[in-house]
Amino acid sequence: MPSSGAKVLTVSELSEYLHVHRTTIYRLLKKGQLPGFRVGSDWRFSVEAIDEWRLQQPVGHLEELKAKEPKAPYVRSR
State pLDDT tens for residues 62-76: 777 776 666 666 566
pTM of the model: 0.73
14-53 b/e with 16+ CB inside 10 Å = b? bbebbebbeebbebbbeeeebbbeeeeeebbbbeebbeeb
> What are the domain boundaries of the chain?
8-67
Structure confidence by residue, pLDDT tens digits, 43-54: 999 999 999 999
pLDDT recorded at residue 52: 95
- Write the CA distances from 42 to 37, 49, 61, 76, integer angstroms: 8, 17, 25, 36
d(CA 28, CA 39): 18
